[in-house]
Structure formats: structure tokens, C-alpha cells
Amino acid sequence: TGSAYMKLENKASHYALAGCAAVVSLGGDGTCSSASLVITGASVKATRASAVEAALVGKKLDESTVAAATAHAADGLELLEDIHGSKAYRSQMTAVMMRRAVLRAVERA
């Protein structure tokens, strides 16, 4: 089991504009046996990414598999928009931070 937290932070406050916490467990054959993913900063509250978790379980977590699963990580979220980032920017950065967090968690597993 490995874990990681990645965030794009506001330079002044250090709060996440978009972030992801990931905990990944791998089976003996290297496939994902469980994944817990939470999105932070992009919305008014931390949100579980259940659809992405389901897309990862049972698969070997190489870069292309993780990229495909996390590409639409922010779909369905009510994203924040302010002077620090538009909804589109936060959506894109959420996918990037989730991909990075999952890959880092896999390295640590």
C-alpha cells in the first residue's frame, strides 16, 4: 500500500487550488486491489473520486492507464471559480494532480 498527496497551491495562502490524496494497494500480481482518492481545493469541500477509484481497481497502474482513468476526475464536481483560477483551469489541474498522486502512491506501494 502506498499513499501520496499532490496539490497546486496558492502561493500566498498555500491552500490547494486543486489537489488529490491517493491511497493505492496492489495485489501480488501488481494489479490494483483497492484505491481511495479524494479531491481537495477545487470545490467547497473535499470529495471522494469514486468513479476514478472504480476505474483503477483490477488494472495494472501504468502511466497510460492512470492518465485515462484520471482524465475526467473533476466531472460532476461543483468547481470553484475565483481570481486564482477558472472552473476549466481547476478541472484540468485536478486531473493532473490526481494523476501525479496516484502514480506517486503506486511507486510507494
pLDDT reported for residue 95: 98
The predicted pLDDT at position 56 comes to 98
* Residues 69 and 55 sit within 8 Å (Cβ to Cβ): yes
State which CATH number among 3.30.565.10, 3.40.50.720, 2.60.40.10, 3.30.390.50 fits the domain covering 2-108: 3.30.390.50
55: nearest Cα among 99, 1, 105, 3: 99
Give pTM, 2 decimals.
Answer: 0.94
pLDDT digits (tens, 9 = 90+) for 10-66: 989 999 999 999 999 999 999 999 999 999 999 999 999 999 999 999 999 999 999
pLDDT of residue 70: 98
